Amino acid sequence: MKRFSGTCLRLLMAVIFFMVLLDGAVDAAVITTDTVWQGEVKVSDDVLVPKGITLTIRPGTIVKVVAAESTKTDPEYLSPLTEITIRGTLKVEGTEKAPVVFAGEEKKTGSWAGIIVDTGTAAMQFLRISSAETAVTLLDGSLQMKHASLSGNRYGLVLQGKKAVAALENSTVSDNDYGTCIFQGAQMTTKATLIEKNRTRDSYTASPKAFDPGVRLELPQEGPVSRRYADAVAMGETVWQGRIEVSGLVRVPEGSRLIILPGTVIEFVRRDTNSDGIGENGLLIQGRLIAKGTREKPITFRSAEKDKQMGDWDSINIMNSAESQNLIEYCRIQDSYRGLHFHFSNVVLHNSVLSNNYRGVQFQESLVDMKGNWLIDNKSGVQGRDSDLSFTDNVLYNNYVGANFFRTTLSASGNMVMGSWREGWRIREGVSTLRENLIDGNRYGLMLADMFYGSYNGNSFTNNLETGLSLKNADNVEVNGNVMSRNGITGLSIQESQAMIKGNQITDNAERGIGVFSFDGIITENNLAGNGRYAIDMDGKTDIAAPFNWWGGDDPARVVLDRRTDPNRGSVLADNPSERPFSFTWPLANLPTDTTWRGTIGVTRNLAVPAGAELKIFPGTTVVFAPATTLLIKGRMIASGTPADKIRFTSRDKKGAEDWEGIQLEYATGSIVSHCILEYAAWGLHSHFTNLVVTDSLFTNNTGGIRFRSGPVEIRRSKFEKNSIGIRSYLGNAVIRENDIVGNETGIFVREKGGGLFITRNNLFKNSNYNIRVGDFNNEDVPARDNWWGTTEPLETIFDGRNEPGIGNVLFEPYLTAPVATGAGVKL
């Protein structure tokens, strides 16, 4: 009996051992125990190796991955293609004689996602990976690769995140579209490794600028747990307040309501019975949920664990609740699998923060209103399908994928989608209208596919690491009045689409303004300038119509890559090129990221450049302000023209002073205004606490040329004429040197504390009231030596303490007897 039991036990153990030693098809999604692959392994569904689990692949293993693009991606997965995702450990133990091979069953580039090491660890040797979208993606994890060959993929190796560290040894990355891409501060070391002969680029490194999403929601008040729930049914009206602990599933049946008062904290204990790394506790609302927090007293849903992890709890699920709105307002939802998840429901999500979730929001067949939310640091910000969605003024930042909508009627405006590690925004099918959204600093900005309607007007696609806007298989789409600028490779990518591409500002993209594979439509009245290699790169075979665009002053033949250079390409028919830029009305109210202006920019409302952002204005640019508009700079403005190509700030109406308000600088240190013309403003420049340099510029026909407080300010070689006041100083610290200040009513007005000024070697004359006037509140002498006053009696042109005792004197002696060759005299 004993012997028999022992044999049974050994047999049982052998069975268990061989159960996890796979040789065959892999269908299971999540690997929950340490597993070994060997022989021929067919992967027909996503594979996930969670934290704490090791997948070992023995020498000679051939892994064939079945292509299966799905419109449904569960939150724990990262690609619509079949993927092998490692959050635990991957060991690939190939040998020289028996390498491990990963390939798509279809042998077509991009047929499967590739190996994604997501905060996990991978040690791989003697392997080959082909036909993937990206052979190996490393997201904040660790990768050691020896004797590897990555070829025949779209991307060979993509590393992302400051914590991503990769070491390659004796490996090759070749014959891919892109070899290696390193983003967001990832690190790679190589030894005896070749990265070469990749079709588009061998290597590419980029990082978006850091961005403060500006969350405005108070933190929760901590207090003792007031109620505890295991699995429970909340009948009737249930009111929660204080601190609630949930260690099961709380269900609110049909006809019942769960009302959560402001300031309530709901914590979910982690329960993971199937060891898939995903918590199971949560809420199921079949009645209605009223979670009506306030900004001062938000409601918090979070993990109860001390060491909170993404996926510690399941979700707030809302099912079949369409009678009236479920309200989720001023809430924090964090550490979950799917923060808010609903079907067939009417849901309002306003002013809430969803962070550190696998997916912030997921919905289908619902009526949805999302406004003013922050979706930050999730794997996926929001994903929805087959719904009606109003999506306004949300901030999506630092998610792996920001937003993903399928077959949805979508109206989206005023959103900021930034810093996504993959797509900022994906929209497929459905009807969508996007207006005045900022899509910036993502790897890919906005990807539109399979659209039969679409209106994308007045958006900004900027600073994305690869592509700003991509149209694929889109029909009847209008793309008007957008900014597509400063993207890492391409501003606009078009494939198999029919569209009107009109009136866009497509400038300063690192390689191409527009990349075209196939297009039936019209590209017209766009400003295409300053793109690194080509304004339009025609990759397809059929001709495209691109009449009447502005090509940045270039001959289109020089900035277009088409049949003229390569007979295998189609032609870009660039008839009637415009000699001047088309006036482009700036579409957004804020410029929160680095922005470039070229051509003619129309400002029709107040614009602001916040702290941390830079506005760079190119020589020859004209900025035209509508009445009563202001440009407020709290970041930095670099407006450096040239003697031949000045930058002009002017008014639309050109009637006279105060047509527009002016440029205001507040703590805008490092700002430069050089070779500029400022006219028709109330104040051309109005500066506070800004380290500002103004040179070689003309201020004319303003109420005031420059007014400043504090500084230091440097004003040189500039001309002030026909203003009421040329320069006004208040508690100023400035050098005013070698300027022509002539023909104003008052040349320089010193309101208060003029002792910090150094006014010298200027031509100050023919100002109808005074060349320098000291104000009533000034009590310091004003140094103004060695200027030319246009007279031998300068005192007659000065109003100071000699006229009104106690207000300080202008120290004008010695004075020059001939004008200075200032180098100003800028002509209109």
Partner 1 sequence: MKPVTLCLLLLLVLAMLSGLSFASAPGSLKAKVLDVDGKPVTGAKIFLYEGVNVRKPADFISPPSDQEGRVVVSLPPGKYRAVARIKQGPLFGPLTSGDRHSGEPTEVEVESGAEAGADFVVADIREIGQKRRSAVGETVRLHGRILDAAGKPVANAYAFASMAKEISDVPAFMSAWTDEDGRYELYLPKTGKFFLGANKQFPLPAGVAATVEIGSRPGKSDVAMDLAVTVY
The CB-of-517 to partner 1 minimum distance in angstroms stands at 12
Report the residue number, 433 or 604, with the smaller CB distance to partner 1: 433
Report the residue number, 99 or 521, with the smaller CB distance to partner 1: 521
The CB-of-210 to partner 1 minimum distance in angstroms stands at 29
3-state secondary structure 513-533: EEEECCECCEEECCEEECCCC
HSE-CB of 159 using CA atoms within 13 angstroms: 23
Give me the numbers of helices (H) and strands (E) for the chain, helices first please.
2, 93
Following DSSP, what letter does each residue of 627-643 receive, concatenated? TT-EEEESSEEEEE--S
Fill in the amino acid letter for 599.
G
Which strands sit side by side in the sheet containing 740-742, from one edge to the other?
Answer: 583-585, 600-603, 622-625, 647-651, 676-679, 698-700, 719-721, 740-742, 763-765
Report the residue number, 165 or 431, with the smaller CB distance to partner 1: 431
Specify whether the CB–CB gap between 693 and 714 falls below 8 A: yes
The CB-of-291 to partner 1 minimum distance in angstroms stands at 11
The CB-of-292 to partner 1 minimum distance in angstroms stands at 5
The CB-of-374 to partner 1 minimum distance in angstroms stands at 16
Report the residue number, 203 or 413, with the smaller CB distance to partner 1: 413
Report the residue number, 74 or 496, with the smaller CB distance to partner 1: 496
The CB-of-719 to partner 1 minimum distance in angstroms stands at 43
The CB-of-497 to partner 1 minimum distance in angstroms stands at 6
At residue 84, φ and ψ (nearest 5 deg) are -120, 105
Distance, CA of 500 to CA of 565 (rounded, Å): 26
Q: Around Cβ 792, how many Cβ atoms within 10 Å?
A: 8
Specify whether the CB–CB gap between 404 and 426 falls below 8 A: yes
Distance, CA of 516 to CA of 478 (rounded, Å): 16
Specify whether the CB–CB gap between 748 and 772 falls below 8 A: yes
CA 721, 724, 727: angle at the middle one, nearest 5?
A: 70
The CB-of-448 to partner 1 minimum distance in angstroms stands at 14
**How far is the CA of 536 from the CAs of 230, 244, 447, 556, in angstroms?**
61, 59, 19, 9
At residue 95, φ and ψ (nearest 5 deg) are -130, 175
Report the residue number, 542 or 803, with the smaller CB distance to partner 1: 542
Q: Of 693, 728, 725, which Cα lies nearest the Cα of 712?
A: 693
Token pair of 748, please?
A: 């320089």
Report the residue number, 346 or 690, with the smaller CB distance to partner 1: 346
Q: Of 297, 368, 303, 295, which Cα lies nearest the Cα of 333?
A: 303
The CB-of-443 to partner 1 minimum distance in angstroms stands at 27
Q: Of 345, 333, 343, 235, which Cα lies nearest the Cα of 291?
A: 333
Fill in the amino acid letter for 369.
D
Specify whether the CB–CB gap between 611 and 590 falls below 8 A: no
Distance, CA of 765 to CA of 744 (rounded, Å): 9
Cα dihedral 15, 21, 26, 27 in deg (nearest 10): 40
Report the residue number, 294 or 760, with the smaller CB distance to partner 1: 294
Helix (H) or strand (E) run with residue 18 in it: helix 2-19
The CB-of-317 to partner 1 minimum distance in angstroms stands at 18
Q: Which residues contact 820 (CB under 8 A, 6 or more apart)?
A: 738, 761, 762, 763, 787, 788
Report the residue number, 165 or 348, with the smaller CB distance to partner 1: 348
Positions in the binding site for partner 1 (CB under 8 A)? 237, 239, 257, 259, 261-262, 290, 292, 294, 322-325, 327, 329-330, 346, 348, 350-351, 367, 369, 372, 388, 390, 409, 411, 431, 433, 452-455, 473, 475-478, 496-500, 518, 520-522
Report the residue number, 159 or 382, with the smaller CB distance to partner 1: 382
62-65 and 416-418: which strand pairing?
A: unpaired
Report the residue number, 203 or 325, with the smaller CB distance to partner 1: 325
Residue whose token pair is 């035209």: 624
The CB-of-392 to partner 1 minimum distance in angstroms stands at 10
Report the residue number, 280 or 388, with the smaller CB distance to partner 1: 388
Report the residue number, 101 or 290, with the smaller CB distance to partner 1: 290
Indicate if the alpha-carbon torsion angle 76, 77, 78, 83 is positive or negative: positive
Residue whose token pair is 């997965």: 77
The CB-of-479 to partner 1 minimum distance in angstroms stands at 10
Report the residue number, 144 or 498, with the smaller CB distance to partner 1: 498
The CB-of-289 to partner 1 minimum distance in angstroms stands at 12
The CB-of-435 to partner 1 minimum distance in angstroms stands at 11
Fill in the amino acid letter for 448.
L
Q: Residue 88, SS3? A: coil
The CB-of-388 to partner 1 minimum distance in angstroms stands at 5
Buried b (16+ CB within 10 A) or exposed e, 560-581: bbbeeeeeebbbbebeebeeeb
Report the residue number, 262 or 823, with the smaller CB distance to partner 1: 262
The CB-of-259 to partner 1 minimum distance in angstroms stands at 5
The CB-of-325 to partner 1 minimum distance in angstroms stands at 6
Report the residue number, 446 or 682, with the smaller CB distance to partner 1: 446
Q: Which residues contact 72 (CB under 8 A, 6 or more apart)?
A: none
Q: Residue 333, SS3? A: strand
Residue whose token pair is 């849903």: 301
Report the residue number, 259 or 795, with the smaller CB distance to partner 1: 259
Residue whose token pair is 């995903």: 278
The CB-of-521 to partner 1 minimum distance in angstroms stands at 5
Q: Is 379 left (phi over 0), alpha (psi -120 to 50) or beta?
A: alpha
E strands of 398-466, at which residues?
Answer: 401-406, 409-413, 416-418, 423-428, 431-435, 438-440, 444-451, 454-457, 460-462
Report the residue number, 262 or 819, with the smaller CB distance to partner 1: 262
